[in-house]
Amino acid sequence: MWLYLVALLVLYILRRWYRERQTVSNLPDKHVFITGCDSGFGHLLAKQLDGRGLRVLAACLTEQGAERLQQETSGRLQTVILDVTKSDSIAATAAWVKGQVGDRGLWGLVNNAGIGGPAGPNEFLSKADFVRVLDVNLVGLIEVTLSLLPLVRRAQGRVVNVASVMGRLTLFGGGYGPAKYGVEAFSDSLRRELRDFRVKVSIIEPGCFQTPIVDVQRVQKSLEQVWSCASANVKEAYGQQYFDCYIEKFKELLFTANPKLHLVTDAMEHALTARHPRTRYSCGWDAKLFYLPVSYLPTSWADYLLTRSMPKPAQGI
């Protein structure tokens, strides 16, 4: 009996390995649009796909980011300036993409643009702090997707949305976690709706990687500003010691960030070029071995693991 089960497992692994090695044809004829290409994952992915011969349409927030990317890539790659929080910018970019792809449609849409903060204990933050992150990481992603879906459907292509392990297990307050949970939900519904159009939707769930979002000095400055803007009642309830420890724990997390960004961009590339892409890609040892397993534990166990080293608030129990 056990021998049959082992044999079936081996056959399953071999079949999956074989399917995942199959790639789509005519890559040089396919257009891929990527948001957030100034730096980080988007910048690296644009160069990576350009090296594969695809026709990359790279959206950057700044002229400097666009110029730097063009200097590092071939003449095939085209750039456009896009602010995903502004509807007129998204509409203009969608029209530009339509002019670039023509009747062939858009093979790939990679929603990568995102910001990390403001972040911190929820009670220290304002509504505006949440809205700022949600506008970029969720609402902007949705509007970009809706604007370009007709072109993706025409090509029977791919949508790749960058979520996070924080879309399964949130470690800190602010808009980042809710936005990534929202990306997961939007991607799930989109995948089912587009299945009959032969459009595939994949979710990328990275752990902690060394991108500008997790720059230690920038994050510490942002957290200190969050403390300075908090009300006197909130500061008194939590206490300076609690917040100082919060900052240190946050920095410890960032210091463990993985420098191998290619682990994420390789997953994105596979989602765009494989004949049988995965529904979800977990990237990084921390995602695979800690965050995702912990997310499946009973809630009380997960809460204990994530809060056992944190101090108690000044007015806590």
Residues annotated as part of the active site: 176
Beta-sheet strand order (sheet of 280-283): 78-81, 55-60, 31-34, 108-111, 158-162, 200-206, 280-283
CA dihedral 259, 262, 263, 264 (to 10 degrees): 100
**Of 20, 46, 14, which Cα lies nearest the Cα of 202?**
20
Pull the structure tokens for residue 181.
């949970």
Residues 6+ apart with CB under 8 A from 232: none
d(CA 292, CA 289): 7
Amino acid letter, residue 146: L
End-to-end distance of the chain based on CA atoms, in angstroms? Answer: 54
